[in-house]
Amino acid sequence: MTMNLFLQAITKFLLGMVLVGLLIFLPAGTLAYFNGWLLMGILFIPMFCAGIVMMVKNPELLKKRLQGKEKQADQSLVVKLSGLMFIVGFVTAGLGVRFGWYILPKKVVIVAAILFLAAYILYAEVLRENTYLSRTIEVQENQKVIDTGLYGIVRHPMYSATVLLFLAMPLVLGSVYAFLIFLVYPFIIAKRIKGEEEFLAKELVGYKEYKQKVKYRMLPFIW
């Protein structure tokens, strides 16, 4: 662990927390938005804990997770579309509070929060199984195909986890309108997977055979 990595990680964490807070509470026009605080809590507390664990046990993985600039133009577009989705979705949820739009029942919010935390656990397991995971599409030195654990069930368990995470977010915020906006994410990630698999089939030894062994991308028996 280096001081530079620590500062980089804590800076990105704090900036992300401030940005999400502004996107949610500023449009809402109030800090008295329980759903907003609930999302902030279940999003950033586990994120902070996971960051500490990676910093101590696997700083190289943390470094990879902090790198977010895509080199491929089509994948860069995917990242930008995802960012736009978050901005519009969070702002919409906040505006719903300001103008008194329909808010989902508390039972739905609680179930969504539980689903979100379950998806977080799934995401953590993916990181444990695959230490090659970076935020950009690339093949690293000495990288091998992971085909056990969750990777023996679907080829992209990380994306399966993120779909659950991101679709649960607007429900935790209590906004059905934001949820409709976040429904574009599965289509965005499908485009990313298509480009990623084409790249890995060319650049990563054994990936073509892995695709034949594990038939499904994200959902067993479906896709």
What residue type is assigned to position 217 of the chain? Answer: R
Residue 88, pLDDT > 90, answer yes
Pick 135 or 131 by higher pLDDT: 131
Determine the average pLDDT of the residues in 194-199.
Answer: 86
Pick 194 or 76 by higher pLDDT: 194
What predicted TM-score, i.e. pTM, was given to this entire model? 0.87
Residue 3, pLDDT > 90, answer no
Residue 165, pLDDT > 70, answer yes
Separation of alpha carbons 171 and 156, rounded Å: 24
Q: Mention every residue, 6+ apart, whose C-beta is less than 8 A from residue 145.
A: 204, 205, 206, 207, 209, 210
- Comparing CA positions, the residue from 21, 23, 19 lying closest to residue 89 is 23
**Please, what is the average pLDDT of the chain?**
87
Res 54: pLDDT: 80
| CA within 13 Å, CB half, 82 | 20
Confidence of residue 90 (pLDDT cuts 50, 70, 90): very high
User: How many C-beta neighbours within 10 Å does residue 53 have?
Assistant: 15
Q: Read off the tokens for 96.
A: 């719903």
Q: What percent of the chain has pLDDT over 90?
A: 48
Res 56: pLDDT: 79
Q: What percent of the chain has pLDDT over 70?
A: 90
Mind listing the domains of the chain with CATH numbers? 3-213 (1.20.120.1630)
Find tokens 């030195």 and name the residue.
Answer: 141
DSSP state, 216? -
The answer to whether the CB of 110 falls within 8 A of the CB of 172 is no
Three-state DSSP state, 215: coil
Q: State CA 109 to chain mean position distance.
A: 19
Residue 68, pLDDT > 70, answer no
DSSP per residue, 10-31: HHHHHHHHHHHHHHHHHHHT-S
Residue 107: C-alpha distances to residues 92, 112, 153, 173 (Å): 21, 9, 31, 12
Confidence of residue 117 (pLDDT cuts 50, 70, 90): very high
Pick 24 or 212 by higher pLDDT: 24
CA quadruple 69, 18, 53, 7: dihedral positive or negative? positive
Q: Is 174 left (phi over 0), alpha (psi -120 to 50) or beta?
A: left
Res 223: pLDDT: 85
Determine the average pLDDT of the residues in 51-63.
Answer: 78
Largest distance between two CA atoms of the chain: 55
Res 116: pLDDT: 96
